[in-house]
Structure 1
Amino acid sequence: MAGINMQQLMKQAQQMQKKLAEAQESMNEVTVDASAGGGMVKVTVDGNMQLQSVTIDPDALDPEDVDMLQDMIVAAVNEAYRGVAEIANKRMSAATGGMGAGMPGMPF
């Protein structure tokens, strides 16, 4: 393996590992708000993909149409999850110089 400096490769791997850890740590500060039904359902998800809050406008409470409310909740949560995943992908890609997209075992 002419020309390959193992010490340099190890140093680069350690730098990338540090950047990944920093990017992952920075996700602790992330919150994403999303809504559905014209704002009738609002949710907040943190950077660790944990649902933090759900706010439902009283006008959305129709005992005759529970399915619609359930659909709005699912839509808002999924939108928030997509937002967190997008932020995580950008940060991980920046940390790995674009090599990290779609890394196995990563939740984003």
Structure 2
Amino acid sequence: MDMQALLQQAQAMQQQLVQAQQQLDDAQVEGTSGGGLVKVTVSGRGSVEDITIDPKAIDPDDLADSAQTIADLVLAAIRDAETGVEELQQEKMGPLAEGLGGGLPGGGGGMPGLPGF
């Protein structure tokens, strides 16, 4: 086993990991519900950044029902955005996890501290 080659591979993977994390930090994913009445913007790391509610979602004649409907729509939009974030994270981080399993002695064991790895 060539330790120098293994060290270079580990350093390259470290650099790829840092780049993938930066891309996730910079990314924004939008989730929608109610045909676009509610839009949620989430960072690539999964943090809710913005929520937009179209005034058409509010029925002034039934505020209590409107409030519940809006809450449901916000929750649905967040879940929609979370699905997009999961896909983005898999796209950016998945190949790195696969690289860990195949290139390191012992078959890799995931990446401690990172969900899903």
Task: Verify same fold: TM over 0.5.
Answer: yes
SS of aligned partner of 1:48: coil
Q: Which has the higher helix share?
A: 2
Aligned length: 104
Letter in 2 for 1:105: G
Amino acid in the other structure paired with 1:51: V
Q: Percent identity?
A: 39
Q: Which runs of 5+ in 1 are unaligned?
A: none
Task: Please give the alpha-carbon distance, in whole angstroms, between the structure 1 residues aligned to 2:27 and 2:113.
Answer: 20
Which amino acid in structure 2 is aligned with residue 64 of structure 1?
A: A
The 8 Å contact of residues 43 and 76 in structure 1, kept in 2 or not, is answered as: yes
Aligned to 2:42: 45
Q: Distance in 2 between matches of 1:100 and 1:9?
A: 11
1:98 Cα deviation from its structure 2 partner:
2.7
In the alignment, what sits opposite 1:89? Answer: 90
CA RMSD across the alignment:
2.2
**Structure 2: gaps of 5 or more residues:** 102-109
Residue in 2 that maps onto 1:61:
58
Structure 1 residues 42, 49: CA separation in 2 closer, same or farther (over 3 Å shift)? Answer: same
Question: Match for 1:36 among 22, 33, 36?
Answer: 33
| TM-score between the two structures when normalised by the length of structure 1 | 0.81
Given the alignment, which residue of 9, 12, 19 partners 2:9?
12
CA shift, 1:90, in A, is 0.8
Task: Read off the aligned partner of 1:37 and give its amino acid letter.
Answer: G
Length-normalised TM-score, structure 2: 0.76
Q: Could you tell me which residue of structure 1 aligns to residue 98 of structure 2?
A: 98
Detail structure 1 runs of 4+ shifted over 3 Å in the superposition. 99-104
Q: Structure 1, residues 2-37: CA drift from partner, whole Å, max 9, x if none?
A: xx1122111111111111111111112211111101
Structure 2 residue identity aligned to 1:45:
V
